[in-house]
Copies of this chain bind each other. A is one copy, B any other.
Amino acid sequence: MSIASTAARPSNATRDIPGPARPLAPTALRPLPLSEVRLGEGFWLDRQHANRDVSVPDGLRQLHDAGNLRNFEIAAGRAEGEVLGPVFADSDVYKWLEAAAWEYAREPDESLLADQLRITELVAAAQQPDGYLNTVVPVREGRRYGNPQRDHEHYCAGHLIQAAVAQKRATGRDDLLNVAVGVADHLVREFGPASATGSAGDVDGHPVIETALVELYRETGTRAYLDLAAWFVDARGHRTLERFGGNSTYLSDRVPVREATTVEGHAVRAVYLTTGATDVAIETSDSGFISTLAAQYEHMAVTKQYVTGGLGSRWDGEAFGDPYELPSDRAYAETCAAIGAVQWAWRMLLATGDASYADQIELLLFNGFLAGVSLRGGDYFYVNPLQVRHDAHADDERTPKNGRLRWFGCACCPPNIMRTLSSLGGYLATSTADGLQVHQYVPGTLRAATDAGQLEVSVTTDYPWDGRVRIAVQNAPETPVTLSLRIPLWAEDATLDGAEVEAGRYAEVTRTFAAGDELELVLPMSPRVTRPHPRLDAVRGSIAVERGPLVYAFERADQPEGVVLDDVSVDPESLTEAEAPALVPGLVGVSLRTRDGAELTGIPYFAWANRGADDMRVWLPEA
C-alpha cells in the first residue's frame, strides 16, 4: 500500500497554479489549483513518471524528426525547404508545449523548461506582424482562411492558446501568452461580432478554438475572447462549411449546439465542440445551455459509448455511429476522443456537481484513455478496439494489429496524452465554499480553500487494485466543513467508516474536522459481469468483465495454448480474481472458464498490447 505521507508537499505552494479550465463565473464546484494537489506513489504517479521520462522527451524528438519544428524555422525565415506534415502540424507542437508546461507545474525541471522556452521563442518568431500564425497553410495552400473546412487554422490557434495559458499558469511567464494574445486579437478582428472582413461567417472545420478562447478570457479577462468563443459556438450548426465541400454531420455543423440532442460526426471534433460550448455556458451562467449539454452527454454515454468509455464507432470519418452501433472489432474509439470527453465531463462536473461526470472521468481515464499509451510510455494507439481477431490484417498505421507506434503521420494523439497525464492532478478534486470534494481516488494530498479556511487531507490507497481509501485530515478549519467522497455508480455496498453509502452520488461528511481525523471508504472490488443493452447487436450474447473502475481484456498471451479467442464461449458464473502478469505493480487479473473447461485470464484493458499486439477481446460470448 502506498503511504501518502511519503509524498512531498505541493511544490509551488507560494503561488496558485490553476490547472486546465478555471471558471471565472460561479460554478457548483471549483477546481483545485494544481498547486493544491500532490500525487503520491501509486498507479497514476507511475503513469506520470512514464510520461515525463519517456513520452515527453521522445515526443520532442519526434516533432523534430517529423519536421513540425522545422516548419516553424521556415516560417521564421531561419531555414529553407518544404513544410512537412499535415495541415495541422503546428498543433502537435502546441500540445507538446502544453504538456511541458503542466509538467513544470507538476514537478519543475529546468531542462524541460529550457526546451519549452526555446520552442516558445521559435513559435513567436514565426508569427506574422498582424498576429496570424500558421506555418503550413499560407505556404502550402497560398491562402489564409481560404478553406476553413480543411485548413485547421483555428484549430491550430486553439492549441496554441491552450499551451500559452498552461505556460502562464505553470511558469508565470508571458512569452507564449503574448503570442497567443496576438493570435486571438487577430481572430477577433477577422471573425465574429467585431469582424470587419468577409470571413465573418466562417467557423473552423475542427473545433478547439472555442474552449481555448474561453480559457484565454479566464487568464486575461479580455471579454472579446469569450464573446468570440460564444460566437463560434453559435455560428456552428448552420451548414456553412458545405460551401467548402464539407459534410455537415462530420463537422458537427448540421445542428446548432443549442438545439442538438446528441453528438454526431467526427468524434473528436464533436466533443471538443461541446467542451467549448460548456465553457461558454459556464462563463455566461447559462443554465439552460448546461441542461442541453447534459442531455447530449447522457445520450452519448447511453447510446454511443463503449464499455471502455471509448467514443466513435466508425473508421469512416473517425465518427460516432448511430445509437447502439458499437462494434468491438472496428471500434475507432480514438484516444483523442476519450481525452476530449474527459475535458467535457470535467466542465460538466464543475457546472453541475453531478457525480456521474466524475464516474465518466474515471471510466475514461482508466480505460479508453489509458489504453492509448504503453505502460513504459512512448508507444501509442490511435484507435482502441475491443476486439482483435486472430486473422486481422493490418492495412493502416492506426490498426492495433500493427502494435503500438512511437508516432503517427497524423500525430494528434501522442501529445494529447502527454498534456492530459501531466495535468492529471487538475481533475481529481474540487472545492466549494464549505468543503472539499474528492472525485478520484489517488494517493496524495489535496488542499481546499473553504470560506472557513484551509482543509487539507491526505489520501492513502492502492486503488484501483484495492477498494480501501483512507482519508486523513492534515489541517482543517475550526468550524464544520463538508468532505464529499464520490461513490461510483458501480460501487454497490460501498461503506464509509463501516456504514453503507449510496452508489452514484457523493457520501458527505460534515463536521468540524481536526488534524489526525481519518475516514475509511471501502469500495467493493469483486469482479463483475456486464451484459450489453439488448439493442447492442454487435455484442449480443456476450459478457464483459469489470472490476472497480477497470474493464478487462482477454489477450492471447495470457491464455492456455490452443485456445483461440475467436472461438471461445465462457461461463459467467466462473468469474473470479486470478493471478495475472504483473504488468504494473499490484495488478489484479480475472479468470473465466470456457465451455471446454479452459481457464481464461483477463488483464485490465489499459494494460493490453504491452507485450506486442495480438488477439484480444473485451466481450466474450456467453456459453
The number of times this chain is found in the oligomer is: 2
Contact with B along A238-274 (1 / 0, CB 8 A): 0000000001111000100000000011000000000
Residue numbers in B under 8 Å from A323 (CB-CB): 389, 391
A61 at the interface (CB under 8 A from B): no
Residue numbers in B under 8 Å from A265 (CB-CB): 395
Instruction: Specify which of B315, B324, B387, B535 is in contact with A316 (CB 8 Å cutoff).
Output: B315
* Interface of chain A residues 285 through 325 with chain B (CB within 8 A): 303, 314-317, 321-325
A566 touching B535, Cβ below 8 Å: yes
Cα–Cα distance between A392 and B320 once the two chains are bound (Å): 11
B395 touching A249, Cβ below 8 Å: yes
Residue numbers in B under 8 Å from A303 (CB-CB): 391
B322 touching A391, Cβ below 8 Å: yes
B539 touching A537, Cβ below 8 Å: yes
Cα–Cα distance between A154 and B270 once the two chains are bound (Å): 40
Name the distance in Å between A64's Cβ and chain B's nearest Cβ: 24
Name the distance in Å between A135's Cβ and chain B's nearest Cβ: 22
Please name the residue on chain B nearest to A393 by beta carbon: B322
Contact with B along A385-410 (1 / 0, CB 8 A): 00101011101100000000000000
Stretch at the interface among A326-334, A371-379, A489-497: A326-334
6 A-B contacts, Cβ less than 8 Å apart? A247-B396, A322-B391, A327-B330, A389-B535, A540-B540, A540-B541
Cα–Cα distance between A621 and B540 once the two chains are bound (Å): 8
Interface centre among A247, A265, A328, A393 (most CB of B within 10 A): A393
A561 at the interface (CB under 8 A from B): no
Per CB-CB distance, the 6 closest pairs between chain A and chain B, nearest first, are A249-B395, A315-B316, A541-B541, A316-B316, A540-B541, A323-B391
How extensive is the interface on chain A, given as a class? 35 or more
B249 touching A324, Cβ below 8 Å: no
Residue numbers in B under 8 Å from A249 (CB-CB): 393, 395
Instruction: Specify which of B264, B327, B395, B534 is in contact with A327 (CB 8 Å cutoff).
Output: B327
Name the distance in Å between A320's Cβ and chain B's nearest Cβ: 9
A110 at the interface (CB under 8 A from B): no
Cα–Cα distance between A281 and B513 once the two chains are bound (Å): 86
B325 touching A389, Cβ below 8 Å: yes
A537 touching B322, Cβ below 8 Å: no
A538 at the interface (CB under 8 A from B): yes
Interface centre among A265, A315, A330, A537 (most CB of B within 10 A): A537
Cα–Cα distance between A265 and B396 once the two chains are bound (Å): 11
Residue numbers in B under 8 Å from A539 (CB-CB): 537, 540
Residue numbers in B under 8 Å from A65 (CB-CB): none
Residue numbers in B under 8 Å from A391 (CB-CB): 303, 322-323
A573 at the interface (CB under 8 A from B): no
Residue numbers in B under 8 Å from A352 (CB-CB): none
Instruction: Specify which of B395, B537, B540, B619 is in contact with A387 (CB 8 Å cutoff).
Output: B537
Residue numbers in B under 8 Å from A325 (CB-CB): 329-330, 389
Please name the residue on chain B nearest to A265 by beta carbon: B395
Cα–Cα distance between A535 and B615 once the two chains are bound (Å): 14
Residue numbers in B under 8 Å from A535 (CB-CB): 389, 566-567
B324 touching A247, Cβ below 8 Å: no
Cα–Cα distance between A315 and B316 once the two chains are bound (Å): 6
Contact with B along A402-422 (1 / 0, CB 8 A): 000000000000000000000
A534 touching B567, Cβ below 8 Å: yes
For the complex with contacts A321-B330, A534-B569, 15 further pairs of A-B residues with Cβ separation under 8 Å are: A247-B395, A248-B395, A249-B393, A264-B393, A315-B315, A322-B391, A322-B393, A324-B389, A325-B389, A327-B327, A327-B538, A329-B537, A387-B537, A537-B619, A540-B621
Cα–Cα distance between A389 and B324 once the two chains are bound (Å): 9
Cα–Cα distance between A323 and B569 once the two chains are bound (Å): 19
Name the distance in Å between A58's Cβ and chain B's nearest Cβ: 27
A322 touching B567, Cβ below 8 Å: no
A610 at the interface (CB under 8 A from B): no
Please name the residue on chain B nearest to A250 by beta carbon: B395
A432 at the interface (CB under 8 A from B): no
Please name the residue on chain B nearest to A568 by beta carbon: B534
A440 at the interface (CB under 8 A from B): no
Please name the residue on chain B nearest to A534 by beta carbon: B567
Cα–Cα distance between A330 and B313 once the two chains are bound (Å): 10
A542 at the interface (CB under 8 A from B): yes
* Interface of chain A residues 529 through 574 with chain B (CB within 8 A): 534-535, 537-542, 566-567, 569
A322 touching B315, Cβ below 8 Å: no
B329 touching A314, Cβ below 8 Å: no
Cα–Cα distance between A332 and B537 once the two chains are bound (Å): 17
Residue numbers in B under 8 Å from A330 (CB-CB): 314, 321, 325, 327, 330
